[in-house]
Amino acid sequence: MSKIDTALPHVRAIPPYPPGRPIDDVAREFGLAPATIVKIASNENPLGCSPKVSQALTALASGVNLYPDFDCYELTHALAAANGVEPAQVLPAAGSSEIIQLVARAFLEPGRAAIIPQYSFQAYIGAAMSVGAQGLFVPAQDFAVDLDALLDAVTERTTVLFLASPNNPTGTLIAPDALDRFVDALPEHVLLVIDDAYCEYVEPALRFDSVAALRRRRNLLVMRTFSKIHGLAGLRVGYALGDPDLLGVLRRLQVPFSVSAAAQVAAVAALADTAFAERSRIENAQERARLALELTRRDIAFLPSAGNFLLLHVGAGAELADRLMRQGVIVRPVDGYGLQEWLRVSIGLPAETDRFLAALDEVHAAARQKV
């Protein structure tokens, strides 16, 4: 018997998370020069990060021999001020992925269930399965979250409900008033985890007011990240907003010093540069619209998106992704979501969009010649 055989059965059953492939990995496999490769697979900010972040990290270099502040005092207070909440309502973490795991460990176990909308971030089901809980998928309606169906799926065994808006990988947005009604209608024994990873990309008038909802309901946890619009994906830093007692439970399970010193100072600096975040939002919206127009000209269907990516209907998604990757363009197949005929493409810089479109045209031209 191997060590794998003695691992817990529910852990062995977890599907491995398929990350976007790194540039160097693709370069090695296909013999490409890394500088020629375009990666538009992981919803990263193509503008990088704020110059203030680079300055803050440079200043930190002489202190990396010291452990970070376990309480994340500066970051916690900066986040509280930015969101209009008390510091006790903020919990910094090593990305929202850590928060998802903390929620599962605190509120799920065998015999309990987490409700997950169809086509949701795969980390939700992985976290539920990691503790032996049931992950119940609720079918979408035209690729959008069906709020009524989610409410109908709640039972006494339901203790957690994960919900993202905009949603990854579809990009769909829940109308703020509809989400408000849903928050109030959800039974109090269910912890609603709202994933706000892409909220900064939404037009301000269409954003859900998570903080206002927190004032009404204690069974609400809001997750946000610095990996997307702030461009800090490599540092792994995010945070939760919620009731102080709820956050206190999660903190009991948090690995000591999980938020590194570099992540803390970078997040504080990023939070202060509101101009960079706004520029990122505006340029993303412009380039997303341009890509949508070019796809329409090519008769390629896609879902309307409020995030920094588009989900394209292309036929054999994984096959097309492989062909594009051989040309040095990395996009994201989404087979693991049950979307075998789709591809997710992150919004890049204009030159990256052009490179993707040229590679797409070349692949389609080669396919036509074979017919």
What's the pLDDT at 61?
82
| Token representation of residue 90 | 């903020």
Residue 112: CB atoms within 10 A of its CB come to 18
The CATH architecture to which 51-272 belongs is 3-Layer(aba) Sandwich (3.40)
- Select from 3.40.50.80, 3.90.1150.10, 3.50.30.30, 3.30.70.600 the CATH code of 4-48+275-370: 3.90.1150.10
Predicted confidence (pLDDT) per residue in 320-364, tens digit: 999 999 999 999 999 999 999 999 999 999 999 999 999 999 988
pLDDT category, 140, cuts 50, 70, 90? very high
How much is the mean pLDDT over the chain?
95
pTM value > 0.85: yes
What's the pLDDT at 2?
62
What's the pLDDT at 64?
85
- Eight-class DSSP state of 15: P
Helices (H) and strands (E) in the chain, counts: 14, 13
What's the pLDDT at 77?
98
Torsions phi, psi for 263 (to 5 deg): -65, -40
Res 369 pLDDT > 80: no
Distance CA 55, CA 38 (A): 27
User: Do the beta carbons of residue 229 and residue 281 sit within 8 Å?
Assistant: yes
Predicted confidence (pLDDT) per residue in 282-330, tens digit: 999 999 999 999 999 999 999 999 999 999 999 999 999 999 999 999 9
Domain definitions of the chain by residue range: 4-48+275-370, 51-272
What's the pLDDT at 371?
56
| Token representation of residue 150 | 């989610």
Predicted confidence (pLDDT) per residue in 6-40, tens digit: 888 888 888 877 778 899 999 999 999 999 999 99
